[in-house]
Structure 1
Amino acid sequence: MPETVTTPSDSASARPASTSGATIQLENLTKSYPGSPSPAVEDVSMDIKAGETVILVGPSGCGKSTTLKMINRLIEPTSGRIRIGDEDVTDMDPVKLRRKIGYAIQSSGLFPHMTVAENIALVPKMTGWSKSGVKDRVEEMLDLVGLDPREFHGRYPRQLSGGQQQRVGVARALAADPPVLLMDEPFGAVDPITRDHLQDELIRLQHELHKTIVFVTHDFDEAIKLGDRIAVLRERSHIAQFDTPEAILTNPTDDFVSGFVGAGAALKRLNLTRVRDVGIADFPTVTVEDPLQSIFNKLRDGQHNELLMLDRRNRPYKWLRRGDLMRAKGSLARAGQLVHDTVTRDATLHDALEAVLTDSGGRVAVTGRRGEFIGVVDMQTLMNSVQELLEADRLAAMEHEHDLEELRSHRTEQELEGGDGGL
C-alpha cells in the first residue's frame, strides 16, 4: 500500500477494467549507502512471470526487504533497471508508480484515524474512481478477504484483531486493482493459527485474481506453502537458487540452500499439496436450532457414532457423540466437544495433519471463505496422501541415482577412449 500520495488528476471518473498480473524484470539492481564498505544489494537480476507468486527468503540482513522496496521505489536503487510489464519504471514518478503497485506490510500499516472502509478506499479515490465505484469496491474487497461488509465497514483498526487488520491491509493493497502486489513479511506479527489461515486466504485470493506477487519471508515453510518459485538469497541478495519449491526441496544447489531446507525435506513436501487436492468427505450435521430429539434420532439411526453441530452461520461448533446425548438431559449446553481447529480447502496437508493429530477424533472440518462448513478430511485420507508422496520421492531418488550412474559410466568411457588415443 503506497504511503506517499498526492492529489489525483480529475480525468478518470470510473473504475477501470479488472487487471491481472504483469511481468517484473530486475536488471543488475544495486543499492549502496554512503559510508558502507559494501552494497546492501548488489547486481540482482531476476525475471518474474506475470501472475506468479515469487518468495524472497534468506537470512536476516541479506537485503531481501531492500530488494522488494526497490521494486516500488520506496528505496531508490543506486543503479540498475526495473521493468513492470513493457514499461521501464526506473525513472518514472515514484508516487505514480506506487499507485500501480499494491503494498502490504507486517502489522498491516492501517491508518488508525480512518475507518476500515476509508482505509480501503484511499487509493481508488486518489486515482479518480467514481464515488459509486469506490463504494462498490470497498464492499467487494471486504467480501473478498472474508469480512462481512455490514459488520466491518465502519470499524476502526483498533477495534479489529491482528488477523482482521492484516486482512484489511491486503484488501487495501488490492483495492485499486494493481497488477503487482508486494508483501513484506505481512503475517509475521500474528499468532501461528491466524497466520496459517491468512496464508490460506492469500492462496485462495491468488487463485481468483492471478496477480504478480513478490513476498518476503524468513520462514522457509511459509515460502514452500505460498510460492510458485522461491529465490533463496545470500548476503547482498545474491541468488543462491531460484526455482520451484519441489526442485529446491529435492535438489538444493549447495550446503547454503540445504541449510534453509533443513531436516525432513520429505515431510516439508506436505506443504506442496492442498486439502482441495485430496478427498473431502461429507459428514452428518445438525444445527444449534434443531430439537434435541431430532438430533438424538439422527445420531441413533445414522452410520456414524458422531455428528457435527453447526452454529447459526453454518460454521462448525461442536462434535457430538452418542454418549454426549445420553448425558445431555434435555440440554446440549455442556454436551459435546467444541471445534477448536478447522482448515480451508487451500490449507496444506501439513496444516490438516497437524489439526487431525491434535484432535482425538481423527478428523478435521473443512470450511469456506466465511467459515461455513464444507466437509471433513480424516486421518486415513491424509496418511494415504503421505504414502503417495513418500513413494514418489523414493522413485525420484532412484531415477536420479540411475541418471548419475549413467553419467559416471559415460565419463568413464570417454576417459578410456582418451587414454587409448594417447598410446
Structure 2
Amino acid sequence: MVTSNGAAGGAGSTSGATIQLDGLTKRYPGTANPAVDNVSMEIKAGETVILVGPSGCGKSTTLKMINRLIEPSSGRIRINDEDVTDMDPVKLRRQIGYAIQSSGLFPHMTVGENIALVPKMVGWSKSKVKDRVEEMLDLVGLDPREFHGRYPRQLSGGQQQRVGVARALAADPPVLLMDEPFGAVDPITRDHLQDELIRLQHELHKTIVFVTHDFDEAIKLGDRIAILRERSHIAQFDTPEAILTNPADDFVSGFVGAGAALKRLNLTRVRDVEIAEFPTVTVEDPLQSIFNKLNSGPHNELLMLDRKNRPYKWLRRGDLSRAKGSLANAGQLVHDTVTRDATLHDALEAVLTDSGGRVAVTGRRGEYIGVVDMETLMTSVQEMLEADRLTAFEHQHELAEQRRERTGQEPQGGADA
C-alpha cells in the first residue's frame, strides 16, 4: 500500500511520497540498445521533478515505468521505501495520479463521472465521492454547479485539462505523474494551466513527476530538473537556478540555449513583486460616477470590472468623452491577465503586448487583485541581473582560490594581500 509520508499538505489531504528508481531499464525485443538504460534517481516527498530531453530520449518511457504502464525489464521502483516493482500494477496505478496530453477524459462520461471514476473503484462511499467531485472541481477553478453535468466535448481544451488534473487527484494519491499534459493547448491557455498547477502544488504538496520537451516550462514548474540524454542517461539533475548558472557540459548548455539570464525570469513569480492598486469601476456604475472618478484621480484611465469582479475593459478619458451616454463600445477589452503564480516572464510578455504598460493580476476564479507595471518588472530584472553578476564574480574568485591552493601560489600583492 502506497501511503503518505505525513508531510504538510492541504487540510485532510495526503501529501507526497518519496520515489526511488534503482537501475531502471527497459529493453524491447529486437532492438540493439535499451530504450531506457540503468536510470537511478531519488525524488523527495512533495517535490516537483521535471524530466526534459530531446524527442525519443526515453523520458515518457521512464515516467510510465513508475506506475508500470510500461513494465521495466530490470531495476526496482520504491515509493516511500516500499518496493512496488512486483506489486499488482492495477492496484498500484489506482494509488498514483496520472494526467496526459489532451486530458484523456472518457467522452461518454460527464465531468463528474470522470472525476469520480477512481474513488469509486477504490471503494469510497457515494456521499464521499460526491463531496470529492465538488471539492476537486472547485480546486481546479471550475464551478461545480456549472461543470458537473457537462460532457468533455462541451468544454474548451483548457477546461478539459483542468478536469484531467482533477481526475488524477480525485483519490488523493501521494504521487502525480504528468506526461506533457499541456502540450496540446494554445500558449495563453498553457500559461494559465501552468500557473494553476503551481497554485495546486502550494496547497497539496504532492510528489509530481512531469515530462516535457519545453525547457522554459521545466524552469517554470520544477523544483529540480533532470536533463536526459538518449536512453534516459542523466546529463544533469539539479535546481533550475543551478542549471541556468552552471550547466554541467556542452549538451546541457545547448539544451538551455541562449538567453539564460532572461530565462531566469521564469524563476520569479508575480507574488514576489509589488502588486499595485489601480482605480476600478464596475459595469453597473453610473456613467457620471465613472466620469467623476476618472477626472478626480491621478490616472488617465480606469479598469472596469464585470459583474463577477473580473477585469473587463480599460477606460481612458478620451473613451468617456466619446461615450455619448453608453460605454458599450468604449474602451479596450482586457485580453491578457496573469495570476500571482505566473512568472515574471509571463507578466513581461503581457505588459509588452499592451499599449498601457501594465497587466491586471487575478485570483483563482479570475477576480481582480491589482496590477503589475513595466517599472516594477524592469526593477526586478535589474536586481536579478545584478545578483547574477555577483554570483559569477564570487564563482570566479572561488575558482581562482582553488587554483592557487593547488599550485601553492600566493595571492597577487604578496602574502598579506
Asked if these proteins are the same fold (TM beyond 0.5), I'd say yes
Residue by residue over 1:222-269, the C-alpha shift from the partner in whole angstroms, topping out at 9 and shown as x without a partner, is 000000000000011000000000000000000000011100000000
Query: Which residue in 1 is equivalent to 2:48?
Result: 53
The alpha-carbon distance between structure 1 residues 308 and 17, as it changes in their structure 2 partners (threshold 3 A), is: closer
Query: Which residue in 2 is equivalent to 1:333?
Result: 328
Query: Which residue in 2 is equivalent to 1:375?
Result: 370
Corresponding residue SS for 2:408: helix
Note the 1:6-405 alignment, pairs <5 A. Answer: 17-405=12-400
The alpha-carbon distance between structure 1 residues 17 and 385, as it changes in their structure 2 partners (threshold 3 A), is: closer
Which stretches in structure 2 are left out of the alignment for 5+ residues?
1-10, 410-417
Cα distance in 1, alignment partners of residues 303 and 345 from structure 2: 23
Supply the AA of the counterpart residue of 1:191.
D
The answer (yes or no) to whether the contact 2:13–2:204 under 8 Å persists in 1 is no
Residue by residue over 1:396-421, the C-alpha shift from the partner in whole angstroms, topping out at 9 and shown as x without a partner, is 1111111111122222228xxxxxxx
Which stretches in structure 1 are left out of the alignment for 5+ residues?
1-15, 415-423
Corresponding residue SS for 1:282: coil
Cα distance in 2, alignment partners of residues 294 and 136 from structure 1: 44
TM-score by length of 1: 0.94
Cα distance in 2, alignment partners of residues 334 and 364 from structure 1: 21
Cα distance in 2, alignment partners of residues 17 and 304 from structure 1: 46
Cα distance in 2, alignment partners of residues 259 and 184 from structure 1: 23
* C-alpha RMSD of the superposition: 1.1
1:17, CA displacement in angstroms? 4.9
Cα distance in 2, alignment partners of residues 282 and 148 from structure 1: 27
Residue by residue over 1:142-178, the C-alpha shift from the partner in whole angstroms, topping out at 9 and shown as x without a partner, is 0110111111110000011100000000000000000
Cα distance in 2, alignment partners of residues 282 and 137 from structure 1: 36
Corresponding residue SS for 1:103: strand
Corresponding residue SS for 1:286: strand
Cα distance in 1, alignment partners of residues 230 and 352 from structure 2: 39
Cα distance in 1, alignment partners of residues 13 and 298 from structure 2: 48
Corresponding residue SS for 2:276: coil
Supply the AA of the counterpart residue of 1:270.
L
Runs of 4+ in 1 over 4 A off after TM superposition: none
1:86, CA displacement in angstroms? 2.7
Corresponding residue SS for 2:149: coil
Cα distance in 2, alignment partners of residues 211 and 308 from structure 1: 37
Cα distance in 2, alignment partners of residues 201 and 217 from structure 1: 17
Query: Which residue in 2 is equivalent to 1:407?
Result: 402
Cα distance in 1, alignment partners of residues 329 and 254 from structure 2: 49
Supply the AA of the counterpart residue of 1:241.
Q
Supply the AA of the counterpart residue of 1:318.
K
1:319, CA displacement in angstroms? 0.3
Corresponding residue SS for 1:360: coil
